[in-house]
Amino acid sequence: MKRRKETKRRIEMRGGYCRCGPFRIDIVPKGLLKPYVLKLLSERPMHGFEIMEQIFEKSGGMWHPGPAAIYPALESLESEGYIKAAEHGKRPEKSRKQYAITEKGRKALANYEKESEEIAESMQRFGALYRKL
């Protein structure tokens, strides 16, 4: 009696989405970058590259936003008053902006966290409905 080789189906993860069979499923919801940046900056001030690395590390490697995503988000958050920047560095050509969350940013983050809990509960209910189909 020949044993059939079992092949495990692999979910292929790339840049915030996965390939599950013929479907592309976003793992990182659109619009999550700014709240994630605020959450990181609520822990301590950071510069842009450090924020990118922290997102990659804290997401277990599932999400690695690049400079083209991070720096416009930082500029937007700064212009809206949610974060502030201070340049640090000995040489101007190598200076990095260190970003810190403002009080307005802390309030926005608290509001986002409350609303995201409600969204997560709704998604769990939807998932339960899907599994019943």
- In the chain, the percentage of residues whose pLDDT exceeds 90 is 44
Most confident by average pLDDT, 16-30, 60-74, 119-133 = 60-74
Rounded CA separation 52/66 (Å):
7
How large is the angle between the packed helices 48-58 and 67-79, nearest 10 degrees? 110
pLDDT of residue 7: 41
Output the pTM of the full model: 0.71
Contacts of 17 (CB under 8 A, 6+ apart): 24, 25, 26, 27, 28
Rounded CA separation 121/44 (Å):
29
Q: Does domain 31-132 have CATH number 1.10.3720.10?
A: no
Q: What mean pLDDT do residues 123-129 have?
A: 85
- In the chain, the percentage of residues whose pLDDT exceeds 70 is 71
What digits encode the pLDDT tens for the residues 21-31? 666 666 666 78
- The answer to whether residue 11 scores a pLDDT higher than 70 is no
Amino acid identity, position 34: K
- The answer to whether residue 1 scores a pLDDT higher than 70 is no
Q: Confidence band (pLDDT; 50, 70, 90) for 72?
A: very high
65-74, 89-98, 109-118: the lowest-pLDDT one: 89-98
pLDDT of residue 61: 81
pLDDT of residue 43: 96
Residue with tokens 């790339």: 14
Q: By the 8 A CB rule, do 77 and 105 touch?
A: yes
Rounded CA separation 126/121 (Å):
9
DSSP codes, 68-82: HHHHHHHHHHHHTTS
